[in-house]
Structure 1
């Protein structure tokens, strides 16, 4: 199995605004730290090189720097590396902070980037989604939604994404769809087509069905078992944005959802060891 970490560009305000390219050494250092975090035991340089796809000389130099900064520890006897105390120092301030608080900076970044309301929905055990947090763009006309709003979990753009994850038998999905309330209901066939598209793309869109005149684009944050834990949605008044902007928003929401899922929930399986 190829256990190399994929080449994923960093997501941040500077990158989003197009202010230049990522710094290669930093990207490699992050890849190494993530690989060590996923490992079941300390690893040697050769294993880290194979797993990350970084050249041996570059990998060794970065590991040496990280060791001096205490982000990585080095076992002289076994010649292996593991995460160090420096990582724990950075993580300490996050202990006790809720998932909502940790995700909020990403909501704010996306709201500014895309010029619309960005909402975080918590998926409940009783089959609903509840608006847990939201961020606004301070400029221009905007949609307002109050935290605490509760909706059936299969409705709207978030609901299409959840339906895609649950992969229910068509007969059961049709039965549950019939109980949903929309201001301008789509046909079941159209809804099912959107669910299938969401399964392929990782995001979905509701164009005026849940609320007339409102466009919503959504993606999910899932745990390692694939269970939907949160929904992320961009919400705007129809005709306020060029239609070409919505697929770009969908991809951004999907990317943030994947990153948040990895960061907030249980560790990924460890890499193959030599």
Structure 2
């Protein structure tokens, strides 16, 4: 049964590395240098572990230590690691994740950019090794349509009357009624993914998840698009979980939140 499918258990993490990444992400989110105490409090890593990690990172040039203020900020050593990323677009950076999803799920995967005029524009995709739906690059859709649209609506957190007004202007092949759409939006807010089976286009199944910035504003979205006869409930749910997990990974990488830190691991 579909409800028995759960995401795969992640591999065991190395605590020291996880803590170091949390600390670097926190420093990257700040405009001013930070003390050990402030960094430890913000990341949930113990002060002694924070001190040891910062001292090690400073010795490697990854952070800079200000002797007079006893504070830390990002160091030039990080630029050595990022030099090959400079100049690459978001689509270039995310493409390997799209390729992985298409290969593992055997489904067309698409990266959408959320535009300022409340549309989504396709900026990258990866095709599976099976017959698949074609989506033209730069295709534009209203941002609230389909599976991705339910997730964007959840992120927007619009008043019901506003959402109803926007919903009424969307063209679907087989539109859901608004109450069903609203329930799907609430589920997307709780689960982080949504599914559209034949609603936007007859014979096409969609799964999607939104990527939001530090302020919760939707900036990108991932979707899986498949011919409905190639999918069943189990495969769609598996795709939804996988796309959600990838969207969360990309969200943490592109828009790190200083409060998204786990406890001190292994200390």
Structure 2: runs of 5+ lacking an equivalent: 1-6, 261-267
1:1-274 equivalent positions in 2, closer than 5 A = 20-137=11-128, 139-264=129-254, 268=257
Q: Count the aligned residue pairs.
A: 254
Structure 1: runs of 5+ lacking an equivalent: 1-15
Q: Per-residue displacement from partner, 1:86-139 (whole Å, max 9, x unpaired)?
A: 1122233333322222222222222223221110112223332221110123x3
Q: Per-residue displacement from partner, 1:148-195 (whole Å, max 9, x unpaired)?
A: 222222211112222223333434433433332222222222112112
3-state secondary structure, aligned to 1:234: strand
Q: TM-score, normalized by length of structure 1?
A: 0.79
Residue 43 of structure 2 contacts residue 258 of structure 2 at CA under 8 Å; is this kept in 1?
no
Q: CA deviation at 1:85?
A: 0.9
Change over 3 Å in CA distance of 1:224–1:24 after alignment to 2: closer
3-state secondary structure, aligned to 2:84: helix
Residue 26 of structure 2 contacts residue 257 of structure 2 at CA under 8 Å; is this kept in 1?
no
Instruction: Name the CA distance, whole Å, in 2 between partners of 1:242 and 1:21.
Output: 31
Instruction: Name the CA distance, whole Å, in 1 between partners of 2:204 and 2:97.
Output: 22
Q: TM-score, normalized by length of structure 2?
A: 0.81
Q: Higher RCO, 1 or 2 (CA under 8 Å, sep at least 6)?
A: 2
What is the CA RMSD across the aligned residues, in angstroms?
2.8
Instruction: Name the CA distance, whole Å, in 2 between partners of 1:101 and 1:123.
Output: 17
3-state secondary structure, aligned to 1:244: helix
Residue 222 of structure 1 contacts residue 257 of structure 1 at CA under 8 Å; is this kept in 2?
no
Q: CA deviation at 1:243?
A: 1.9
3-state secondary structure, aligned to 1:125: coil
3-state secondary structure, aligned to 2:210: strand
